[in-house]
């Protein structure tokens, strides 16, 4: 028995396992096992306050230009009211108007001085042109009134010449012809008193009218002399008909000259008459 026990292995008490080092080690501890020694308490360092939050540096604004108002000036400036804006605009326009008036005034003074020295200025030329247009029409109307009188004696002249050919009313015929000649010469005198310098082709027109009226007056004078010859003792009038004489030939020649001049005159006149709505004429009406 004792030998049997000797061959049994020696009982050895199992070694204690170190408790697990975690939060659940109390679950593995034996009830009678001594509590593990706690490490001595170490005081925690005092709480260090974090530095205050600092805003990252921003872009530094450039200082305001001397020609531009800074932010403070812009914030301090007040918005103008519409009435103030209108007042500023009106004031500016007034200043511009005064400046323009001063410039024009000085220019007018210079133009007046230049005109006094004999030099023509554009403004004076424009005034002359405007005055020329109205002056041309006025001259045309005055000449038109004179032309209306030029045909007054035509019918009496035709009637007087017909009486001479028939050897009738010779005395009255001679008187009518002399009156017609006087009237034609009067037209020439009155035409010379008219101002026609602004009419187109005024020189050619006046020359044609003068030639026509002077030739007509000469023809009338010759025909009146023919009437005197016909009233004599049977030398011109025979059997109720007057023969032609040298006075008759001279009258016919002057009458032909007058007709050609009248054709030229009406051609020039009708251009003017059409422009201003005046009477256009035939050569027989002069």
Rounded alpha-carbon distances, angstroms, from residue 68 to 46, 73, 79, 229: 55, 9, 17, 112
> Would 135 be classed as within a structural domain?
no
**What is the domain range of residue 270?**
144-285
Q: Strand, helix or coil at 167?
A: coil
Asked if residue 175 belongs to a domain, the reply is yes
Instruction: Note the pLDDT of residue 201.
Output: 97
Question: Is residue 172 packed enough to be buried (19+ CB in 10 Å), middle (13-18) or exposed (0-12)?
Answer: middle
Residue 32 lies in a domain: no
pLDDT tens for the 286 residues of the chain, in order: 444 444 555 545 555 555 444 444 444 444 454 555 555 555 555 545 555 555 555 545 554 444 444 444 445 455 566 666 676 766 666 666 666 666 555 554 444 444 444 444 444 444 444 444 579 999 999 999 999 999 899 999 999 999 999 999 999 999 999 999 999 999 999 999 999 999 999 999 999 999 999 999 999 999 999 999 999 877 899 989 999 999 999 999 999 999 999 999 999 999 999 999 999 999 999 9
Q: Any idea what the Cα angle at residue 226 is, between residues 222 and 228, rounded to 5°?
A: 115
Q: Which residue has the tokens 């003074």?
A: 109
Structural domain includes residue 160: yes
Which helix (H) or strand (E) segment holds residue 237: the answer is strand 237-238
pLDDT at residue 88 in the model:
73
User: Is there a domain that residue 43 lies in?
Assistant: no
- pLDDT value of position 43: 53
210 in any annotated domain: yes
Question: Nearest Cα to 265, choosing from 151, 186, 136?
Answer: 151
- Could you tell me if 69 and 77 are in contact, meaning their C-beta atoms sit under 8 angstroms apart? yes
Asked whether residue 150 is assigned to any structural domain, the reply reads yes
Contact (Cβ atoms closer than 8 angstroms) between residue 20 and residue 27? no
- For residue 270, the tally of other CB atoms under 10 A from its CB is 15
Q: What is the rounded distance in angstroms from the CA atom of residue 53 to the CA atom of residue 122?
A: 82
Query: Tell me, what's the pLDDT at 22?
Result: 47
- Within 10 angstroms of residue 152's Cβ, the number of other Cβ atoms is 11
pLDDT value, residue 80: 60
Produce one character per residue of 95-119: b if its CB has 16 or more CB atoms within 10 Å, e if not. Answer: eeeeeeeeeeeeeeeebeeeeeeee
Q: What is the pLDDT of residue 116?
A: 44
Query: For the whole model, what pTM was predicted?
Result: 0.55
Number of structural domains in the chain: 1
In a domain, 264, yes or no: yes
Query: 157, 101 in Cβ contact below 8 A?
Result: no
What pLDDT, on the 0 to 100 scale, is given for residue 132? 47
246 close to 187: Cβ distance less than 8 angstroms = no
């Amino acid at each position: 028995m004792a030998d049997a026990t000797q061959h049994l292995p020696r009982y050895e008490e199992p070694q204690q396992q170190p408790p697990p080092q975690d939060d659940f080690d109390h679950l593995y501890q034996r009830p009678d096992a001594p509590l593990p020694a706690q490490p001595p308490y170490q005081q925690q360092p005092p709480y260090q306050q974090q530095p205050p939050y600092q805003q990252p540096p921003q872009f530094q604004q450039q200082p305001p230009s001397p020609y531009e108002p800074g932010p403070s000036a812009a914030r301090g400036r007040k918005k103008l009211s519409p009435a103030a804006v209108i007042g500023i605009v009106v004031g500016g326009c007034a200043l511009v108007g005064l400046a323009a008036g001063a410039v024009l005034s000085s220019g007018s003074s210079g133009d007046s001085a230049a005109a006094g020295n004999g030099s023509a200025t554009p403004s004076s030329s424009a005034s002359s042109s405007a005055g020329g247009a109205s002056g041309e029409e006025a001259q045309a109307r005055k000449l038109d009134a004179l032309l209306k009188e030029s045909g007054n004696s035509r019918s009496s002249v035709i009637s007087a010449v017909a009486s001479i050919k028939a050897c009738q009313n010779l005395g009255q015929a001679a008187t009518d012809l002399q009156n017609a000649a006087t009237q034609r010469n009067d037209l020439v005198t009155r035409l010379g008193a008219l101002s026609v310098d602004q009419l187109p082709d005024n020189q050619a027109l006046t020359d044609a009218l003068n030639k026509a009226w002077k030739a007509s007056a000469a023809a009338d004078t010759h025909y009146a002399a023919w009437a005197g010859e016909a009233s004599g003792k049977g030398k011109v009038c025979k059997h109720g008909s007057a023969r032609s004489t040298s006075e008759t030939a001279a009258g016919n020649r002057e009458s032909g000259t007058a007709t050609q001049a009248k054709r030229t005159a009406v051609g020039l006149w009708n251009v003017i008459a059409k422009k201003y709505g005046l009477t256009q004429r035939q050569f027989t009406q002069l």
